Structure 1
Amino acid sequence: MKLDSREREALASILDQLTPRVAGTLSAGRRAYDDPTLQAEYDRWVRPEVEHGREADIDVVRSGLSSGEDTLPLTEAQALCWLRAFNHLRAAAGEILGIDADGWEEQTDAATRARPEFGILIALGWIQEELVAALES
């Protein structure tokens, strides 16, 4: 992963801005079960693991950004952490923008496109595409 100092600073700022919202996307997300008892069991046994995984993915990105290096050699496992972390951050940005379904790209108005979260959503998506391409090569 090649990132100059400005790009690292921008990504670190995105992490700082959206990480607190990531947990909110999990709790506001769809339920695993319609049955309240089953959902409570899911929340008790599975949700902590999911939350820990999200935090760990974001920590891997934060660690890479804080290295100060323009070229970050990522293992496959680290690249997958970056992909998942960016997915979490994109979900948080999407929640802020009110995006809750596929096809949002065609339905986005000019006011939404002018918001910083929209730029974050697009930028993180582009980085994800680059990471996927690197993993496939």
Structure 2
Amino acid sequence: MWSRLIALHAQVEGRLAAAVQRGHGLGLSEYRALGFLAEAPDGELRMQDLSARLGLNQSSVTRLVGRLDAAGLAYRDLCPDDRRGVYAVITDKGRERHRSAGDTYRDTLTLALDESDDDTVAALRRAHVRLL
């Protein structure tokens, strides 16, 4: 079951990445970073918290936020109390881009799972129901 889940994950991630990039000019990690920032209080997270949520190392998140900054979707800000603390902050443009890409993400995810040709999704749904 675990290997089937990994294969399904890879397939779905590929479809999500292509759809979000093609339709909205965002990488999948960029889309998810904007989502975490949009949900955060005041639209900001410490860089290490964003790194942990994305499952990326600090260097990768620094580059990712740099790309978001260059596109006007987020920016870096220093913590006023601790000048060593760096935050990523979403902009209004970033919120709008994330919101517009959200429908594409959800529709693609639903379609990818509905079109799955093995019983992995059905087994996951059964397991989920048992856990409730």
Greater strand fraction, Structure 1 or Structure 2: 2
Give yes or no for TM over 0.5. no
Determine which structure has greater relative contact order: mean sequence separation of CA pairs < 8 Å that are 6+ residues apart, divided by chain length: 1
Q: TM-score, normalised by structure 2?
A: 0.30
Which structure would you say has the larger Rg?
A: 2
